Structure 1
Amino acid sequence: MRPSRVAGAAFAGLVLAAPVSADTLRDALLKAYETNPTITGQRANLRAVDENVPIARANGLPSVSATGGYTENVLVPNPSTSNTLSNPARLAQGTTQLSVPVFQGGAVRNAVRGAETRVEAGQAQLRGTEAQLFTSVVGAYMDVIRDEAIVGLNGQNVRVLEVNLNASRDRFQVGDLTRTDVAQSEARLAQARAQLQSAEAQLISSRENYIRFVGDAPTDLQPPPPLPNLPKSPADAVAEALRENPTLLAAGKQRDATRFDIDVARASRLPRLNVVVGGNYFNYLGALGAGTNIKPGQSGQSANVGLALTVPLFQGGRPAAQVRQAEALRSQAIENVTAAERQVIAQTRSAFAVYRSSQQVIASAETAVSANKLSLEGVRAENSVGTRTILDILNAEQELLNSQVTLVTARRDAYVAGFALLAAMGDAEARDLNLEGASLYDPTLNYKRVRNRFNDFGGDGEPDAVATSTAGTPAQDATVRRPLDPVLESGVDRSPALTTGASAPSRQ
């Protein structure tokens, strides 16, 4: 089983265990896959690229044309017999011609091959668009989870500092604390409230960004499934990315297509041969010989068969310029492949480094959270006997909050970097994630449908919007209904009984 298939199984398993009213990461990916305008627009663009194949092939197929006309001579000099025969008063005629290309210098063949190669490039680019979209969805999903946790932590901190402030004021009234202690509590509470406001604004922004990618507002986002079978080293990740990254594959196909463009440009210097079959019909509508005693035939037809050979002798330098232009564009395409390769390597290594670093940050942050909980508990206990100040408690509270925020941020960064790593390796597309809730879009079906069509009449009809509008979604707020992760709960009694400090060592 490929790692991507295991990832798909993990995503599928998560949705089975989640509550009915909750949103899972797989749900978000599926909604984006079906309704996001970025991917639906890219599909439409690929369908347009598909049509370049029958357009190129049409230049090598027979063509039939028909022309007709009617002429009325309103002024005829000297209506003599000779004039009426040479200048009849009216004439109706029609001509048909069949032209069959026999030799085009290879222009048609190479144009078709180039168009087919660009279709393959477009299909790879669609895969890349899927991976980029899914990476953005995962980032938006994890941003909401992170920011909900940060809002919850800051809200918890504000409530704790409010209790601290009330306790400080009560202790000040009984002479156990000074006015400085109360002022420190007031200042720290004001700062905490400002941090809460900033966190709430960031949460609203993340929720709106989620709507932008997914199309619906987030409700109860469930924890994401684990990312399985990530590479063990940057070298392994880069090797896989160079083989499977869709953006790099698309650049390679674009480069290959330019080889055919050069041959098409060179073909414009070669002779062209067509078989031509024509027919002609005329009718003088009784006007031939009018006013004379001569009554010749009033209609007739003719036919011709022949060869039409076009030999370019001088075209003002156009063919050479077109060849040089095609060669320069091929050079650009070659350089684009190198640029894409560099980008893929950098993205892969960066994602691997961020993932590994975030894993280490998570371990350190978990240790820091546990240590800060013990520290806060000890500082509060020591304060109750007068060996610690209110400022020590406030600092311990802030250090615990900082370590908790670091932990939830590192969790988000690790997951997003891990998914970005899978995307860079070509393992984060719809086919890899088991999004079987709806039929997956198969770009080859449209190509097979249109590639051999030669009917001049037809179309797919006026297109309708596929992506959904988000104008009707309500403005988001910063309400958090999700309980904090138990790991983030402090477990510290933050509202100890008041004490006058009479038994403190400093008072003995």
Structure 2
Amino acid sequence: MHSNGDAERSSIGTLPVRAALLITANLLTACTLQPDYQRAELDVPGAWVNGASASSDAPNIVTMAGQDWWSRLHDPSIDRLVEAGLSDNPTLAEAAARVDRARALATGANAGRLPGITLEGSATRAREAADPSSGPSVQKSASFGARANWEVDLWGRVREGTTAARRRLDARIAEANGARMSLIGDIVDNAIALRACVLTRKVLQSDLTSREVELGIARKRLSFGAIAPVEVAAVQSNFLTARTQRIAQQEMCARLTNALAALSGLEASTIRAEFGSEPVAMANLNLLEPVDYDRIPIPPETQLALPATILLANPDVLAAENEAAARWAEVAVARAERLPRLDLVGVLTGQWIRSFGVGTTFISNSLGATLSGPLLDGGAGAANVRVAQAGYREAVAQLQLIARTTVRDLEDALAARQSADLRVQTAQESLEQARFALRANSARFEAGAIAQFELGETRRQLNRAQQDAITAQTDRAQSWVALVRRVGPAPSRQFTSTPENENSFND
């Protein structure tokens, strides 16, 4: 306990110390242990090797990725699947939780830049029997006050720690954007594949029915002795091969249906009804019904920006870039941990004491500074700096690898798009010729000019042409999806997490 006079003298005596500390803090707060972060050099080509030519009025794929890009396919079933997948998906919920956690950590790191104030209070009641003639005495005391602590950020340790936390928050947001883009891309990609699978299954069913008719004719000819048993065996082998392909195709359609159910959260029965992927009985197959190729979405014509522009929007590259920046800030934190640390402590306390019927009140305050730092640590501090530096180099290497992988994937998608565009044209021409041949041979068969075997072979040529056309159109649509999903969402469509931990940061 101090008297009022002692407290006043103590306060006056701390004024020179306080002024010295403030001057020192102002001089040293701006000290930095390393230069500001600079983005690492990335091996990015100046232009696309497989860049497809597009009209000048075609929309840029970066702009398109910032919108509901999947609606450009004009497929209502895909729109419904994407809407269902975005409304409730465990992957997106996990990404949101990671963003919220990173935001909370960034908020906690930023709190270290401000003074911390804690309240302290206590109360006691003591009873003593000092004199039996006068009875026991009661003594009461209470105290209440506030304690302020603030670390003077001499070397930028707190500042760099806040920077690292903020950069990791940006990385988690980029990863969440990537997860959203990946989910949409998986839904659209599998939906296109299911459309193609249903059409291919129809073609295989047509081929199987044709071979079944051919097998029946071969067995009748065998019964008349017109052909040898080995010829029937060859026809039956072709029929069984066609049946095996049809069974495998039905399994593929079922797998795609299950994948869409897992991605969107819809029931598999709903998806089968939406895409017409229910198994079709052989007796219900109409061989003269044309395959509806319009059910495979036709992607719009788009322009692809320069590689450097694309990388600025790619969520994987953004996440790796922010992680490298966070690791760079942690190098400064590790260096600052080896230097002295200055903490300011201020205490304001009020005490109330009552004993033998007399009450006394004391108000005291103090302001002090603590300077601490490592003297001998056996090399642990230097080792921590080397660990942080190695972590930064690792992050830079990962950034460069992700940038190269992204460019390679985009080049592959461009090459696939070019190949698919050419194959769509040639497959369409082949399909038209196969249809013409089938119509001509059907008329010749009805006139008795050719046998059933020749007509069956013409129909199988049409089936192969149809499968080639389906494959080419599917590849064209899926290569466009690959381009959009590798570009990533524009800032206007970026992921936002729950606002519970929102906090603004001041540099």
- TM-score, reference length from structure 2: 0.70
Question: What secondary structure is seen at the aligned counterpart in 1 of 2:502?
Answer: helix
Q: 2:394 aligns with which of 317, 332, 338?
A: 332
Structure 2, unmatched stretches of 5+, are 1-58, 276-294
How far residue 45 of structure 1 moved from its aligned partner, in angstroms, is 1.2
Q: Does 1:119 align with 2:169?
A: yes
Structure 1, unmatched stretches of 5+, are 287-294, 433-439, 454-508
Coordinate RMSD, CA, aligned: 3.9
Residue equivalent to 2:11: none
Q: Deviations over 1:53-100 (max 9, x none)?
A: 2201222222233445577899x9x9689xxx9xx9987554533214
Q: Does 1:449 align with 2:502?
A: yes
Residue equivalent to 2:207: 157
Q: Deviations over 1:155-209 (max 9, x none)?
A: 2222223333334445555666555554444332222222211111111111000
How far residue 137 of structure 1 moved from its aligned partner, in angstroms, is 1.3
Q: Does 1:35 align with 2:35?
A: no
Higher mean alpha-carbon deviation, 29-38 vs 95-104, is at 95-104
Residue equivalent to 1:59: 112
Q: Does 1:103 align with 2:152?
A: yes
Q: 2:428 aligns with which of 354, 362, 366?
A: 366
Letter in 2 for 1:208: N
Question: What secondary structure is seen at the aligned counterpart in 2 of 1:227?
Answer: coil
Letter in 2 for 1:220: E
- Give the conservation status (yes or no) of the 8 Å contact 1:366–1:407: yes
Question: Residues of 2 paired with 1:70 and 1:448: CA distance?
Answer: 37
Q: Deviations over 1:453-478 (max 9, x none)?
A: 9xxxxxxxxxxxxxxxxxxxxxxxxx
Residue equivalent to 1:276: 346
Letter in 1 for 2:324: R
Q: 2:465 aligns with which of 381, 384, 403?
A: 403
Change (3 A) 1:431 1:166: farther
Question: Residues of 2 paired with 1:220 and 1:168: CA distance?
Answer: 40
- Give the conservation status (yes or no) of the 8 Å contact 2:157–2:336: yes
Give matches, 1:60-75, under 5 Å.
Answer: 60-68=113-121
Question: What secondary structure is seen at the aligned counterpart in 2 of 1:51?
Answer: helix
Q: 1:419 aligns with which of 481, 492, 495?
A: 481
Question: Residues of 1 paired with 2:230 and 2:441: CA distance?
Answer: 19
Residue equivalent to 1:248: 317
How far residue 2 of structure 1 moved from its aligned partner, in angstroms, is 4.3
Question: Residues of 2 paired with 1:14 and 1:409: CA distance?
Answer: 17
- TM-score, reference length from structure 1: 0.70
Letter in 1 for 2:342: R
Question: Residues of 2 paired with 1:108 and 1:6: CA distance?
Answer: 41
Question: Residues of 2 paired with 1:380 and 1:338: CA distance?
Answer: 61
Residue equivalent to 1:143: 193
Question: What secondary structure is seen at the aligned counterpart in 2 of 1:64?
Answer: strand
Say how many residue pairs are matched: 419
Change (3 A) 1:417 1:110: same
How far residue 347 of structure 1 moved from its aligned partner, in angstroms, is 1.0
Question: Residues of 2 paired with 1:415 and 1:353: CA distance?
Answer: 13
Change (3 A) 1:149 1:120: same
Question: Residues of 1 paired with 2:245 and 2:116: CA distance?
Answer: 73
Change (3 A) 1:12 1:417: closer
Higher mean alpha-carbon deviation, 60-69 vs 302-311, is at 60-69
Q: Deviations over 1:230-272 (max 9, x none)?
A: 44xxxx5634423322211221122122222222223322331
How far residue 318 of structure 1 moved from its aligned partner, in angstroms, is 4.2
Change (3 A) 1:260 1:441: closer
Identity level (%): 18
Question: What secondary structure is seen at the aligned counterpart in 2 of 1:220?
Answer: helix
- Give the conservation status (yes or no) of the 8 Å contact 2:196–2:296: no
Residue equivalent to 2:78: 25
Question: What secondary structure is seen at the aligned counterpart in 2 of 1:450?
Answer: coil
- Give the conservation status (yes or no) of the 8 Å contact 1:369–1:404: yes
How far residue 366 of structure 1 moved from its aligned partner, in angstroms, is 2.8
